[in-house]
Amino acid sequence: MVMRSNPVTQLQPPKLGTPKSAKISYSLHETGSLLVGDMFLSGYLNDCVQMVEYFGPLRSFLLLKGGYERGANTETIDRVVAHATDTIAWAVKMRDDGYHQINTISFLSEWAALEAGNENVVAAIIGTVRNAAEAAADKFQKGRFDAGAWPWSDDQCLEIAQKLDQKAKDKTQDRGWNASGRLVVLFGWLGVTLEIDPVSAEKFNEASMIRNVIVHRYGRLRASDICRTPHLAGWEGKTLPMTAERMREYNEAMVAIHLAISNAIHAKGWK
């Protein structure tokens, strides 16, 4: 299966015990592995920034001492030490901001992993299960995707999955907000019944909105956003802080969605 990459990617693919020949299972397990990896990203980066703040003064001292011992000219020493001092100041600002920027990077990476992973799962189903492929083809103009020519190539399955996702959005009630409902419609077309608890669905919908606000408006909330999320009213017209607690809530919602998809597919016995 040709895998679609997420925009904030892990360079090396995860090492899975699942054979790639089991396309559906492999796509599910890869998505889960990427979610776990990206979940820890902010913690690792925050630890690194804290070490810059705590050990930065020692580094500056050693740079200064080493520069004089090696006979470096004063201008070079001053430049290197100034850079180290500026890095410490940046680390302090990150801490004062609650590591907002780092948490945002981690959140976007998690979201991208799930979004791309869901498309890969849909593509794998279309490429593996004939009934699902026929149901997918029926959503398009007759002849657009010839079910008689199935099995299709991996690239074509991914193309269908991406186009099918947009069609599911068009058929979802309250489509601008209801990201979880969109997945229920999408997988339902393929014969997969998702069961998502209302609390997770609502938090997932909020996370989807925040992702769009970050990408398209640099995180600044509008009155129309607050209508859906009145608990965020204090941030209207401002950039919403991506706190550790908010990260945890969004992560739990994304994991709940992934598990709902995985459980529903496993119940079908598809691999």
Asked whether residue 259 falls in the same domain as residue 134, the answer is yes
Helix axes 179-189, 198-217, angle to 10 degrees: 110
Where among 61, 96, 131 does a domain terminate?
A: 96
**Is the peptide bond prior to 151 cis by the omega test (within 30 degrees of 0)?**
yes
Asked whether residue 90 falls in the same domain as residue 145, the answer is no
The boundaries of the domain holding residue 66 are 45-96
Instruction: Write down the pTM of the prediction.
Output: 0.91
> Alpha carbon of 97 to those of 103, 108, 179, 192: distances in Å?
11, 18, 29, 42
> How many domains does the structure of the chain reveal?
2
Domain membership of residue 209 (yes or no) is yes
The neighbouring-strand residues paired with 221 are 236
How far apart are alpha carbons 39 and 62 in whole angstroms? 35
Where among 53, 72, 96 does a domain terminate?
A: 96
Domain membership of residue 60 (yes or no) is yes
Asked whether residue 50 falls in the same domain as residue 39, the answer is no
CB atoms within 10 A of CB 66: 12
Q: What is the pLDDT along the chain (271 residues), one digit of tens a residue?
A: 444 444 457 888 889 999 999 999 999 999 999 999 999 999 999 999 999 999 999 999 999 999 999 999 999 999 999 999 999 999 999 999 999 999 999 999 999 999 999 999 999 999 999 999 999 999 999 889 998 899 999 999 999 999 999 999 999 999 889 999 999 999 999 999 999 999 999 999 999 999 999 999 999 999 999 999 999 999 999 999 999 999 999 999 999 999 999 999 999 999 9
Asked whether residue 139 falls in the same domain as residue 61, the answer is no
Contact call for residues 268 and 192 (beta carbons, < 8 A): yes
Where among 58, 75, 96 does a domain terminate?
A: 96
How far apart are alpha carbons 38 and 8 in whole angstroms? 9
Instruction: Cite the beta strand spans of 116-228 per DSSP E.
Output: none
Domain membership of residue 17 (yes or no) is no
How far apart are alpha carbons 59 and 262 in whole angstroms? 48
Asked whether residue 34 falls in the same domain as residue 135, the answer is yes
Which string of DSSP letters, residue by residue, matches 95-113?
HHTTTHHHHHHHHHHHHHH
Report which of 123, 78, 138, 103 is spatially closest to residue 241, judged by C-alpha positions.
103
Domain membership of residue 12 (yes or no) is no
How far apart are alpha carbons 211 and 215 in whole angstroms? 6
For the record, the structure tokens of 241 come out as 């802080």
Contact call for residues 242 and 107 (beta carbons, < 8 A): yes
Burial of 26 (0-12, 13-18, 19+ CB in 10 A): buried
